[in-house]
Amino acid sequence: MFLVGLSGGIASGKSTVVAVLRELGCAVIDADVIAREVVQLHFKAYRQIVHYFGTEILFENGEINREALGNIIFSHPEKRQLLNSITHPEIQKEMLKQILKYFMLGYRYVILDIPLLFETNRLTKFMKYTVLVYCDPPTQLSRLMKRNGLSQAEAEARIASQLPLDEKRKLASHVIDNSGDRESMRQQVLRLHARLEDSLDFLWARLAVGAVVAGLGGLVYLLLRHFIS
């Protein structure tokens, strides 16, 4: 089994691509979903966040007010770094658990949906391939303005806060251009899926695991025959 990193940019259409991949039966691990889960009540990261940032970031029901926390870390880079040091290890542990689950289920590859894959650049070394969901800048701006009801200036400011898609494009091993219609995007995803399914990467590891399982099965069979006889 090998890992495929998937990323995009704001309003580039990554969620639509992920939906198609799931329809194809691909194993997709969503880092954003995990990030929300690990800061829920009773989790280790939740307790640490409340300890360092105080109860003023909580709603009345005790849940973390993500907007309030976001306002703090937006204007204080050192606090953003502190928050990342709390949440990232927990996120990575949960991702590893899910990767192992899919490995045991026999998946050929697992897609890790990580929004800041290219910005942080810490996880790319674990990926056999990296995929960028791209769209051209005018389309990205138009989609964001329409989707979020933003002015042009507001949308441009949000886009500028991320690494430009043209820069990410240089870092990715595969690019899905989502500037056009849905069917064009879908055909690109189908071709990528077929290419990944046909990949022989890490075949030796799969064969080794198969040999070990077969060997253990043979050993169990011989032991059963011995005790039965």
Q: What is the pLDDT of residue 209?
A: 47
Q: What is the pLDDT of residue 104?
A: 94
DSSP E strands: which ranges in the chain? 2-7, 27-30, 109-113, 129-134, 174-177
Do residues 112 and 191 share a domain? yes
Do residues 4 and 47 share a domain? no
Residue spans of the chain under pLDDT 50? 203, 205, 207, 209, 213
Structural domain ending residue among the three candidates 58, 82, 106: 106
Q: What is the pLDDT of residue 76?
A: 87
- Within a domain: 126: yes
Do residues 101 and 114 share a domain? no
pLDDT tens per residue across span 143-189 = 999 999 999 999 998 899 889 999 999 999 999 999 999 999 999 99
Q: What is the pLDDT of residue 121?
A: 81
> 171: which 2 tokens?
């870092």
- The model scores a pTM over 0.85: no
The owner of tokens 């991702």 is 95
User: Cα(166)–Cα(132) distance, rounded to whole angstroms?
Assistant: 10
Do residues 88 and 137 share a domain? no
Residue 134, domain extent? 1-27+108-198
